[in-house]
Amino acid sequence: MKTLTVSVVTPDGPVLEESFSMVSCKAENGELGILPGHIPLVAPLSISAVRLKGEGDTVNIAISGGFLEVRPDKVTILAQSAEKPSDIDVERARKAKERAERRLKAKQDDVDFRRAELALRRALNRLDVVDQ
């Protein structure tokens, strides 16, 4: 079976480097499914889950945006943050979600709505990945 080496890297260091048979991720302009032998590609990624399909298992990773680089035998994901389900602190994500929702509801001039919206998306994405 053909595989791809997948490397996930954040500013804090490497999160994962393993072989998988397929990578599914969400680029800013749509879903991408990458199999071994894919043409080279660079694409910005959304706040989303990256799905790594192995021979028996599937690994989901929550990423907070970043870039995907595809070469025929390797996929590199450079993300602002990336967590496997076991590394996600559910309580922290719930609190971040509530904080962001409160800020979005507040309708105060000093609230940075774009920032609160992004924080909410990161928190929801982490909670989704834990549930998958």
Which positions touch ligand ATP (CB under 6 A)?
12, 64, 81, 83, 87-89, 92-93, 96, 119, 122, 126
Q: For residue 127, what is the enclosing H or E element?
A: helix 113-131
The gap between the terminal CA atoms of the chain, to the nearest Å, is: 26
CA pair distance 103, 3, nearest whole angstrom: 44
Q: What's the closest the beta carbon of residue 62 comes to ligand ATP, in angstroms?
A: 8
- From 74, 75, 51, select the one nearest 61 (Cα to Cα): 51
**Nearer to ligand ATP among residue 59 and residue 88 (C-beta):** 88
**Nearer to ligand ATP among residue 89 and residue 117 (C-beta):** 89
DSSP string, 21-82: SEEEEEETTEEEEE-TTPPPEEEEEEEEEEEEE-SS-EEEEEEEEEEEEEETTEEEEEES-E
CB 20 within 8 A of CB 3: yes
**Nearer to ligand ATP among residue 10 and residue 21 (C-beta):** 10
**Nearer to ligand ATP among residue 38 and residue 121 (C-beta):** 121
Q: What's the closest the beta carbon of residue 43 comes to ligand ATP, in angstroms?
A: 20
Q: What's the closest the beta carbon of residue 1 comes to ligand ATP, in angstroms?
A: 31
Q: What's the closest the beta carbon of residue 56 comes to ligand ATP, in angstroms?
A: 26
Q: What's the closest the beta carbon of residue 95 comes to ligand ATP, in angstroms?
A: 7
**Nearer to ligand ATP among residue 36 and residue 46 (C-beta):** 46
